[in-house]
Amino acid sequence: MIWLAAWDVLAVTIALVVLHLLGVETVRRGWFPEGMGGATAILIPLMSLGLAALRRALSAQAIPTPLAIGAIGLYLSACITYIQIRSVLSRGYSLRILVDLLERGGSADMETLKTQYASGAGLSWMVNKRLRTLTSLHLVERRDDRVGPLTATGRALAMVSDALRRLLRLDLVG
């Protein structure tokens, strides 16, 4: 029974990842309108469908409740792991610098790295990209070159993040 539940979790997780990647590609190609949150807006309904499919499969196989709860926990952990891997790979500054260096034969001067960051988009692009995300999530207001004030949600999130950084002794983050 444990193996049946594990295979169900694996199958649903693989289906989630494949469907999410296909969904992201359809948005990227303009076949489907990009909504608020982009890839996340696609992922959340897929995670819910995956959870429903997993519950149905576990019920159909008469998996005992404690094992079913464990399988659902494993599925949710796999979803969180997938989200974190995507986040690190898509928003990791250090990884992006490594890729930029690789594209330039392994080395470059500082000015080249600053201006050619992210295949020529530059550091300004990176900051604007982050600010667009924060604005679309209604965490901060932005008008022209003015950023702020923080929204109530943005202030609360900043306070929690700051407290967690201090608790975990993370002096420099970014």
Assigned domain for 116 exists: yes
Is 116 found in the same domain as 83?
Answer: no
Is 117 found in the same domain as 152? yes
Q: Per the structure block, which two tokens stand in for 113?
A: 């790295």
Using a pLDDT cut of 90, give the percent of the chain over it: 22
Question: Does residue 85 share a domain with residue 145?
Answer: no
Convert the pLDDT of each residue in 96-148 to its tens digit.
778 778 888 888 888 888 787 777 777 788 788 888 888 988 889 998 889 98
46: amino acid identity, one letter: L
Phi, psi of 148 (to 5 degrees): 115, 165
Residue 63 DSSP label: -
- Is the domain of 149 the same as that of 120? yes
74 shares a domain with 110: no
Q: In angstroms, rounded to a whole number, what is the distance separating the alpha carbons of residues 50 and 42?
A: 13
In a domain, 173, yes or no: no
Q: Is residue 117 part of a domain?
A: yes
Number of domains in the chain: 2
Asked if residue 97 belongs to a domain, the reply is: no
pLDDT of residue 76: 94
Residues 87 and 110 in one domain: no
Residues 86 and 136 in one domain: no
Q: Is the pLDDT of residue 91 over 70?
A: no
83 with 15, same domain?
A: yes
pLDDT at 168 over 70: no
Looking at every residue in the chain, the average pLDDT score rounds to 82
Residues 10 and 35 in one domain: yes
Q: Give the up-direction half-sphere exposure of residue 20: CA atoms within 13 A in the CB hemisphere.
A: 23
Determine which of 16-30, 49-63, 90-104 has the lowest per-residue pLDDT on average. Answer: 90-104
Q: Look at residue 98 and tell me if it is in a domain.
A: no
Q: Is residue 96 part of a domain?
A: no
Report DSSP state, residue 173.
-
What does the pLDDT average to over 76-99?
A: 80
Cα→Cα distances 144→34, 132, 147, 151, Å = 23, 12, 8, 17
Q: Would residue 101 count as lying in a domain?
A: no
- Residue 19 domain boundaries: 2-91
Q: Is residue 147 part of a domain?
A: yes
Q: What is the pLDDT of residue 170?
A: 65
- Tell whether the model's pLDDT for residue 93 goes beyond 80: no
Residue bearing the bigger pLDDT, 3 or 1: 3
